[in-house]
A = this chain, B = another copy of it.
Amino acid sequence: MIDNTISDTSRIKDARFLTKLIKADEAAALISHGSTVGFSGFVGAGSPLYVPLAIANKAQNMHEQGKEYQINVFSGASTDVDLDGALAKAEAVAFRTPFNTDPNMRAAINSGATRYVDVHLSSLAWQVEAGYFGNMDFAVIEISGITENGELIPTTSVGNNQSWLNYADKIILELNIHQPKELDGFHDVYHQPLPPHREPIPIKTPRDRVGSPYMKVDFNKVVGVVLSSTEDRLNKFTPLDEISIAIGDNVVKFLENEVEAGRLPKGKLLPLQSGIGNVANAVLAGLTKAGYKGLECYSEVIQDGMLELIKHGTVDFASASALSLSPSAVEEFRKNVDFYKEHIVLRPQEISNSPEAIRRLGVIAMNGMLEADIYGNVNSTNVMGTNMMNGIGGSGDFARNGYLSLFLTPSMAKGGAISAIVPFVSHLDHTEHDSMVIVTEYGFADLRGLSPKERAKKMIAIAHPDFRDMLQDYFDRACEQPKAGHTPHLLDEALSWHSRFKKTGTMKKD
């Protein structure tokens, strides 16, 4: 996988950096057991790949020799199979934050082999810089070039890169010559200092550029530049299924109701944030179908589908932290790079996910979830309350601060064994104070302005029909208790659906 013969240094315009060229295994050799490393990478985009693979190899060799070797891994968000996957398989990760989608890393987290901390994506950078996670020994950052002034051109994500560059003691740059050099100019790197020195973030629309296209680096901290050539390894998305399309249509129906009622500006809506995957893609497809034009996005990730929407005019501008494209979409992107530069900006995740910016812009937040309870509390992270799926990601940043906050989910999982609407969530990431609208393929539950008991009625109506009677029965009996209170629950039964699933493989009763 690692090609040690790459020698094209034409993207290094500051000659000082030529003196720092090393191979990936030499970089890995610098990183000793117990090191804390901040990697670039956000939803599989812009991760270094050679250095992590070399670290994984080193770990394997050392373990074979009976020696300890593990590092602490910080990233932007999820990386990919050659970073999280390779390091997890090599049992090389003692600690991981803030978000992961790799199945091997997930297994290590759930077995306890890797300690994991689940942090809002907007918050990790400043919390690290504030010293809450201790020292950072290395930053390992993928770049697509170095300018004459010694500034760094990011690749397909900005993530926490500038913060890692600022905070880490030593820096390893992975210059990936496969990344389009046309990426130059797509980024807007605005970095906030710690309080009490912060200023207002001057973003007033998703398209505002408020920083520099380049990242700053202290050359004296650079201990290596590794040349690489590799594409982002992104998961392919399956075609839209009926359920996703139905959810997307319900979202569009909800938004049209809002426009109709005068609660959203006609035509342009407000800036959209949508998560990744099938359901998110279905929402965007639904908006296209409904004839929307000129929409703006203030979101985390731009995927293949977004390029199509931009080309089609459905979306006029998209702000995000990562450009997560498949190889064929990269081709399209390269061919029409000047066009896309007018319509896309990539920001640090502290800015793409900034509570300040999200609330000011009035973002319409749409995120997936694992389950919600009858009162609208949402679990986004822990399956059956105990097993980590991916992490909270940016869903909290957007849901708490959005002008509208929607959570979308198919009503069932595991072929009908699991209901997405339950009496009591087994883990809680988004409280009743933050979830405004829950959407399944059966409709939307608009919870705004409703007391808990009113919410339950709406939630039960969008559950899968197989589970509605069970939910209604739980709710009715909870309400019938003496002193049932404001938020009625049967404490002895609240988690019984999850317990039953663990014992019998289904939430359904015999």
Binding site for B on A (CB under 8 A): 95, 109-110, 112, 115-120, 127, 130-134, 194-196, 198-202, 204-205, 261-263, 265, 270, 355-356, 359-362, 377, 382-388, 392, 396, 400-401, 403, 426-433, 436, 448-451, 453-454, 483-489, 491-492, 494-496, 498-499, 502
Pick the contact of A270: B109, B195, B488, B491 (CB < 8 A).
B195
CA A225 – CA B487 in complex, angstroms? 39
Kindly report which residue of chain B lies nearest to residue A132, judged by CB atoms. B448
Considering only CB atoms, which chain B residue lies closest to A269 in the complex?
Answer: B196
- What is the minimal beta-carbon distance from A417 to any residue of chain B, in angstroms? 16
Decide if A401 touches B355 in the complex (CB within 8 Å). yes
By a CB distance below 8 angstroms, the chain B residues around A194 are 362
Determine whether the beta carbon of A499 is less than 8 Å from that of B495.
no
In the bound complex, residues from chain B placing their C-beta under 8 Å from that of A110 are 483, 485-486
Query: For residue A364, which residue of chain B has the nearest CB?
Result: B195
Mostly helix, strand, loop or mixed at chain A's interface?
loop
The one of B198, B262, B360 that contacts A131, using a Cβ cutoff of 8 Å: B262
Also in contact, A115 and B431, with CB within 8 A (given A131-B262, A200-B201, A386-B488): no
- Tell me which of B130, B385, B486 contacts A386 (CB under 8 A): B486
- With A112-B486, A117-B449, A117-B450 known, 6 other A-B pairs at CB within 8 A are A110-B485, A195-B360, A385-B491, A386-B486, A426-B491, A491-B496
Q: 4 closest A-B pairs (Cβ-Cβ)?
A: A195-B362, A386-B485, A200-B200, A356-B356
Can you list 22 A-B contacts (CB < 8 A)?
Answer: A95-B451, A110-B485, A112-B484, A112-B486, A116-B451, A131-B262, A195-B270, A195-B362, A196-B270, A200-B356, A355-B355, A355-B401, A356-B359, A384-B491, A385-B487, A386-B484, A387-B486, A388-B485, A392-B433, A428-B428, A429-B433, A491-B498
Residue in contact with A360 in the complex, picked from B200, B202, B265, B485, CB distance below 8 Å: B200
Q: Which residues of B contact A428 (CB under 8 A)?
A: 377, 428, 431
Across the interface, do A360 and B198 meet the contact criterion of CB distance under 8 Å? yes
Rounded to whole angstroms, the CA-CA distance of A132 and B263 in the bound complex is 8
Within 8 Å CB of A127, what residues of B?
A: 448
